[in-house]
Amino acid sequence: MDLWENFGMNEKMAGLWQELGISAGTAIVILVALYFVIKWAVKNGILEAYKKIEEKKAHGDGKADKTNRE
């Protein structure tokens, strides 16, 4: 019994993976790793954008304080 049958894959998709020489277990490991890499990249991108927004805010607030004092 093939693992592809257990996962309910159609024959075309299972054939594609088998032509590439990738078993079901390897495919699952690759997809899970890809999920976490993308999740990490999105998280870092959001944090970087947030830091830039905060820096802009702080820089803008500093200008506002200087103009109010004068």
d(CA 39, CA 52): 20
pLDDT tens digit sequence for 33-70: 999 999 999 999 999 999 999 999 988 876 655 555 54
pLDDT at position 1 is 44
Q: How far is CA 30 from CA 17, 26, 35, 54, 67, in A?
A: 12, 6, 9, 36, 56
pLDDT tens digit sequence for 6-30: 666 677 777 777 788 887 788 889 9
Residues across the chain? 70
Residues 17, 24 contacting (CB under 8 angstroms): yes
Residues in Cβ contact with 23 at an 8 Å cutoff, skipping those fewer than 6 apart: 3, 17
**Encoding tokens for residue 7?**
């996962």
Could you tell me the pTM of the whole model? Answer: 0.57
